[in-house]
Every structure is written in structure tokens, then in C-alpha cells.
């Protein structure tokens, strides 16, 4: 699941058919077939249970996975290329499985959840896919660091951290797949459609920034929890012990580690790490 090399040697041209095959096979061949139903949730001490249940992230986490799953699956249905389509279907299926893992955790520890909203398919499937892809690029980067911080500090019991490990690595595979898809897709657009696509990607980033500013202010207009709160409240819960600079360093190091095992010819998610390195220069 963590290590994957394409057996075909030689340099890779981004945007080629070989590139498409490579990032699809990376996702398909590193799938971990665990089943949420058989996960054994470790017994927690009363203090650990209290820490886990009082984190304000469970509603948001469950709903984020629910939305990601419908968005990815909806986009998959628009794709004619059989290999790409099956990789997208697997990606969407893994999101549905994340939701199941979280639901089982919530059930196992008696965490009360708000009633779940509907997850309607997006009107523009490509928009939904881009929003999910880029938001995962942001959230996974911070989740990698937060997860390592939780492991180090013992904020969560070690067994619980290990139970969750595959979910975190799966998000790493997803963003690796997504950035390679985005580069491949862009290269294969006719020249006159590229500016429109660039504009759409810019709108997605603007939307994600706006969404995260909203969360930072605690705006919750229609009572539905927002995607990125996982990162925000996660760092609030764990962050007190760490400076922002140390947190960014940890995120960068963990990001490297999570990506290190995959074929180096594939592109790496680099926008968020680059922004983080830039922000890091102003922190001590
Ligand atoms: Fe997920
Ligand atoms: Fe994902």
C-alpha cells in the first residue's frame, strides 16, 4: 500500500497514455482490502474515551467522507476511459469506506452525532471532483502532521492511532492520484480550453479558501458542518503543545514520508507544501 513502482522502465512524459496508466495502476494496485465491519476498536480508559468523544470533529468527518464519496462517484460516471474510470470508482469506494470506518468508531465509543444531511450529487461533476481533490490536498497535508503529533503525544491511545493509519495513507494515495490526473487532464485539453480550465481551478481554490475562512470564524450558516473543520479543530485540540513552526515542519516531514514509497516519476502534490514552506519563513 505504501510502496509502488511501475515495472516499465524509462522516463515518463506527463500527459501521455503511459502516465495515465501509471497513476491509475498506482491507485488500483495499492488498494488495501480491509473491512470496516471487522475492525476491533480498542477499549479505552475513561480519560482517553473522554478525549476522543469530546473532539468536535466527528460530525464533520463523517459528512466530509459522505460528500467526497458522492462527488468522486458522480465524476467517475462521466469518464469513458475504462482504466481511469475503475480507478475513480475505487477512489469513491474508499471514501465510502472511510465514512463506514468513522461510523463504526462513533458507534463503538458511543459518540452522539447530529442527524446526517443528504448527499446530493453535484450539478457539475467535474466541479465536485476538483473541489474534493484540492480540498484533500489541503486537509491531508495537515492531517499527516496532526496524526503524527497525536501519535507522539499519546493524545490518542496507540492502538486507536494504528487502527486509523490505513485511512490516512489512503488519503495520501488519493492526492497523489489527483494531482497526476489534473496534470494529465490539462495536457490533453485542446489549447483553447486550457484557460477556462485554469479559471475553474482558480475558482475552486477561491472557494476552498473562502470556506476555510468561514470555518475559522465559526460560521455555520445552514447548520451543516463544513469540510475543513477537521483540520482546524484538530489543530486546536492538539496544537497547544506545539508551535505553528514546529507543526508545519512536522507536516512537511510527514508529507515527504507518506509520498516517498511511490514511483518517483509520478508528480507529487506540491502546492500546499510550497505554501507551507513559504509561511514557515515568517515563523520561528
Ligand atoms: Fe476520505
Ligand atoms: Fe480521499
The neighbourhood of ligand 2, an ion, using CB within 5 A, equals: 136, 171, 174
Judged by its nearest atom, the ligand closest to the C-alpha of residue 136 is 2
Q: Is 127 helix (H, G, I), strand (E, B) or coil?
A: helix
Phi and psi angles of residue 81, each rounded to the nearest 5 degrees, phi first: -60, 120
**Distances from the Cα of 139 to the Cαs of 45, 53, 142, in angstroms?**
29, 21, 5
Q: How far apart are CA 142 and CA 140, in angstroms?
A: 5
Three-state secondary structure call for residue 262: strand
CA of residue 282 to ligand 1 center, whole Å: 31
What's the whole-number mean pLDDT along residues 218-231?
Answer: 48
Question: Where does 17-31+44-280 sit in CATH, by number?
Answer: 1.10.620
Per-residue confidence (pLDDT) for residue 242, from 0 to 100: 80
- Domain edges within the chain: 17-31+44-280
Distance (Å) from CA 175 to ligand 2 centroid: 7
pLDDT digits (tens, 9 = 90+) for 225-282: 444 455 555 555 554 568 899 999 999 999 999 999 999 999 999 999 999 999 999 9
pLDDT for position 140: 95
Task: Report the pLDDT value the prediction gives residue 277, as an integer from 0 to 100.
Answer: 96
Distance of alpha carbon 32 from the chain centroid:
16
What helix, strand, coil percent values describe the chain, rounded to 5? 70, 0, 30
pLDDT band of 154, cuts 50, 70, 90 = confident
The arithmetic mean of pLDDT across residues 109-128, rounded, is: 94
> In this predicted structure, what is the pLDDT of residue 95?
97
pLDDT reading at 131 higher than 50: yes
The Å distance, Cα 244 to ligand 2 centre, comes to: 25
Q: What is the arithmetic mean of pLDDT over 131-139? A: 96
Share of the chain above pLDDT 90, in %: 74
Q: Which residues lie at CB < 5 A from ion ligand 1?
A: 65, 95, 98
Identify the sign of the CA torsion 12, 18, 24, 28. negative
CA of residue 282 to ligand 2 center, whole Å: 30
Question: Distance, CA 192 to ligand 2 centroid (Å)?
Answer: 31
Q: Tell me the percentage of the chain whose pLDDT exceeds 70.
A: 90
- Residue 80 vs residue 47, higher pLDDT: 80
Give the number of the ligand closest to the Cα of residue 27. 2
Cut 0.75: pTM above it: yes
- The residue among 57, 265, 258 whose CA lies nearest residue 169 is 258
Mean pLDDT (the chain) is 90
Residue pointed to by grid coordinates 465509543? 109
Question: Average pLDDT in the 29-56 region?
Answer: 91
What is the reported pLDDT for 155?
Answer: 81
Q: Which ligand is nearest to the CA of 64?
A: 1
128: which 3 cell numbers? 465536485
- The lowest-confidence range among 5-9, 26-30, 56-60, 246-250 is 56-60
pLDDT at 150 (0 to 100): 86
Q: Judge whether 121 and 70 are in contact, CB under 8 Å.
A: yes
**CA angle 97–102–103, rounded 5-degree value:** 95
Query: 230 C-alpha to center of ligand 2: Å?
Result: 14
Query: Could you give the CA distance from residue 154 to residue 161 in angstroms, rounded to a whole number?
Result: 9
Q: Does the pLDDT value for residue 37 go beyond 80?
A: yes
Which is more confidently placed, 225 or 156?
156
Q: Residue 65 CA: which ligand is closest?
A: 1
Amino acid at each position: 500500500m505504501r510502496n509502488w513502482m511501475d515495472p516499465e522502465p524509462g522516463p515518463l512524459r506527463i500527459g501521455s497514455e503511459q502516465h495515465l496508466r501509471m497513476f491509475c495502476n498506482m491507485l488500483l494496485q495499492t488498494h488495501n482490502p480491509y473491512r470496516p465491519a471487522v475492525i476491533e476498536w480498542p477499549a479505552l480508559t475513561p480519560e482517553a474515551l473522554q478525549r476522543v468523544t469530546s473532539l468536535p470533529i466527528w460530525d464533520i468527518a463523517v459528512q466530509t467522507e459522505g460528500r467526497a464519496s458522492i462527488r468522486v462517484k458522480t465524476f467517475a460516471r462521466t469518464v469513458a476511459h475504462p482504466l481511469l474510470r475503475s480507478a475513480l470508482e475505487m477512489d469513491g469506494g474508499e471514501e465510502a469506506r472511510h465514512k463506514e470506518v468513522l461510523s463504526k468508531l462513533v458507534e463503538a465509543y458511543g459518540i452522539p452525532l447530529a442527524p446526517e444531511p443528504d448527499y446530493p450529487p453535484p450539478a457539475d461533476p467535474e466541479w465536485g471532483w476538483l473541489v474534493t481533490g484540492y480540498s484533500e490536498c489541503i486537509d491531508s497535508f495537515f492531517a499527516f502532521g496532526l496524526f503524527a503529533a497525536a501519535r507522539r503525544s499519546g493524545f490518542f491511545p496507540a492502538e486507536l492511532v494504528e487502527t486509523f493509519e490505513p485511512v490516512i495513507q489512503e488519503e495520501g494515495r488519493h492526492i497523489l492520484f489527483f494531482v497526476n490526473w489534473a496534470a494529465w487532464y490539462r495536457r490533453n485539453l485542446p489549447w483553447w480550453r486550457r484557460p477556462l480550465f485554469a479559471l475553474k481551478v482558480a475558482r475552486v481554490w477561491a472557494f476552498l479558501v473562502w470556506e476555510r475562512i468561514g470555518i475559522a470564524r465559526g460560521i455555520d450558516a445552514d447548520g451543516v458542518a463544513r469540510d475543513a473543520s477537521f483540520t482546524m479543530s484538530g489543530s486546536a485540540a492538539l496544537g497547544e503543545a506545539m508551535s505553528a513552526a514546529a507543526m508545519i515542519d512536522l507536516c512537511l516531514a510527514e508529507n515527504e514520508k507518506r509520498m516517498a514509497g511511490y514511483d518517483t516519476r509520478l508528480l507529487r502534490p506540491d502546492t500546499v507544501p510550497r505554501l507551507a514552506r513559504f509561511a514557515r519563513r515568517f515563523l520561528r
